Amino acid sequence: MENLSIDYILRELSSMKIATDVPRCRHCLSKVLQLCSSIVAQDLSPFLPPVVNLMAHSDLLIKKSACLILTKVSECKSELFLLAVNTLLKDIEDSNPTVRALSLHTLCAMKHATFVEHRYSSVVKLLSDPSAYVRRAAVMSVVTMYHDEKSVSKDAVVVNRLYELVRDDDPLVVVNCLTVLEEILESEGGVVLSRKMVGYLVKRLESFTTWGKAYVMKLLQKYKPKSEEEILDLMNVLDPFLDNNCATISLYTLQFFLLLIKDLPDFKDDVFLRCQKMFLGVFTCGNSELISCFLDYLQKEHKPDKNAIQKLFADHYKVVFCKQKEPGYLKIQKLKLLVELIEEENFTAILEELILYSSDRDPQVSICSIGCLKRLVLEWPGVSTQLLKAFHKLLRSERNHVVSNTLQVLVTFSPETLKNLSEVSTQLCLIAQKMSDAEAVVAVLYLIGQFELDNADSLDVIEEFINKFSELDVKVKTQLLMTSFALFCKQPAMFQPILAEVIDLCMHDDDCDLVYQAKCYFSVLHTDAQTAMKIFC
């Protein structure tokens, strides 16, 4: 085990030899960095003297590490800072662009007054550096400056220079300028996008990095063309970006197009269909987070426009099918989309998929899938045999959460719909004895009250619950009361003793709502049983 104590490293770094032994020095500095990386506050100020010395070292890696450590200890105060500033200022004049950029970065990262006073002149100077790499760094440093001292960086010299640099040869400098202008001029609405500027950016777009393209495309969304002709021109030029390698860029292009054609609704369908490949491509990309973002976009922006989604995916619904390894949240989103896509032709295939995931081991996925099944029951009254089978199977599942979820969905159906599902009821009594979570038990009790069941079985179930009445949840007790009443209304003779017993138990419960409810039932029955049955059933 290597000695990582501060003292030891400090001793190593302070020794005279270290500056000549480059590998040893690099190693020691990396150990210091390891110390810095733990968030737990450690006082690293003892390292300052050797680190400031090493900043002037000729080895680039040592210089980099030293600068990085310096920014990490920027909180403390020290006379050594003056020495550090001088080193940095000297390096800003260095012939190596990497060194120039590095020292500017370091200078701007330090919040101490000694450093701050040199920032402005250094940044302005390096904004005109011959190396693109340094210009990139200088442009970004303007934001750092802006966040510390709002007035300085907004002055006309800097802003004008930034606007000039938008026409720079280097693509990254251009994009950096735009991001910086957007940020420091936020209060004035960001970069001014004239027609000329938009034309220029569109022409340069192809040369930008992926991130740059995405950023500029997002930026362009602010621009509102004056004439229809201009809109069409823009759309023609930007059309290739609708199926860019990077799906995010395509998405931004789509968003821009949708904004452009806000007043030309006829185009909307075409634009959307143009992106079909892109959407389908995303589903096979294997990056679940990205797929999730896209589904999110579709759900949020285009939910009202069900037709468009149908058109996009109807023929390719199989792409949307879930994969075993996908995380739960993605499966849920996919299932929600699938149910939107259902049609006569693909009904069986999608149903099969939904049934498969109804018994998923992730309870959330399972309930979502069963919820989708519910929608099918409501929207496709004709094809319910398959669905019935599905519910049958789900209720027989070995996993409790599946059964519980199924029950909870069944409960939400109207009595008319339930009649179509009456075959399911045969298993209810068995389930009632098996289930343990309150939600499921409430549901199953409710269903027992609703269906025409074999009375002897229901009687058994109710009796069993009466036996363990004191252990039950209040919700279950309430439901037990209501179910007994419902059963009584159907078969008064058979269920009268049971109902009496339940009402009696409820009236002596601790929960006052339940007591009140029981009393209410009792008094109603007591006054006029016939009318009461008519009202409640």
> What part of residues 156-175 is at the interface with other proteins (CB under 8 A)?
169-172
Nearest-approach distance from CB 515 to other proteins, in angstroms: 34
Q: Which of residues 60-89 bind other proteins (CB under 8 A)?
A: 60-61, 64-65, 68
Q: Which is nearer to other proteins, 241 or 257 (CB)?
A: 241
Token pair belonging to 59: 């080895």
CA atoms within 13 A on the CB side of 243: 11
Among 100, 136, 204, 336, binds other proteins (CB under 8 A): 136
Q: Which of residues 139-158 bind other proteins (CB under 8 A)?
A: 140, 143-144, 147
From residue 202, give the alpha-carbon distance in Å to each of 112, 253, 304.
Answer: 41, 12, 32
Nearest-approach distance from CB 44 to other proteins, in angstroms: 14
Q: Which is nearer to other proteins, 282 or 453 (CB)?
A: 282
Among residues 62, 273, 247, 97, the alpha carbon closest in space to that of 170 is found at 97
Q: By the 8 A CB rule, do 219 and 183 touch?
A: no
Is residue 98 close enough to count as binding other proteins by CB under 8 A? yes
Nearest-approach distance from CB 521 to other proteins, in angstroms: 37
Q: Which of residues 406-445 bind other proteins (CB under 8 A)?
A: none
Among 80, 202, 349, 524, binds other proteins (CB under 8 A): 349
What kind and span of H or E run contains 339? Answer: helix 328-341
Q: Which of residues 270-299 bind other proteins (CB under 8 A)?
A: 277, 280-281, 284, 286-290, 292-294
CA–CA separation, 176 vs 138, rounded Å?
10
Nearest-approach distance from CB 461 to other proteins, in angstroms: 25
CA–CA separation, 74 vs 69, rounded Å?
9
Is residue 347 close enough to count as binding other proteins by CB under 8 A? no
Nearest-approach distance from CB 233 to other proteins, in angstroms: 16
Q: Which stretch binds other proteins (CB under 8 A): 35-43, 384-392, 433-441, 478-486?
A: 35-43
Residue found under tokens 């929608």: 375
CA–CA separation, 451 vs 421, rounded Å?
9
Nearest-approach distance from CB 360 to other proteins, in angstroms: 6
3-state per-residue secondary structure call for 41-56: CCCCHHHHHHHHHHCC
Beta strands per DSSP E along 338-482: none
Q: Which stretch binds other proteins (CB under 8 A): 2-10, 56-64, 337-345, 373-381?
A: 56-64
CA–CA separation, 347 vs 355, rounded Å?
12
Is residue 57 close enough to count as binding other proteins by CB under 8 A? no
Token pair belonging to 430: 């068995």
Q: By the 8 A CB rule, do 297 and 329 touch?
A: no
Q: Which is nearer to other proteins, 60 or 273 (CB)?
A: 60
Q: What are phi and psi of 63, to 5 degrees?
A: -60, -45
Nearest-approach distance from CB 189 to other proteins, in angstroms: 15
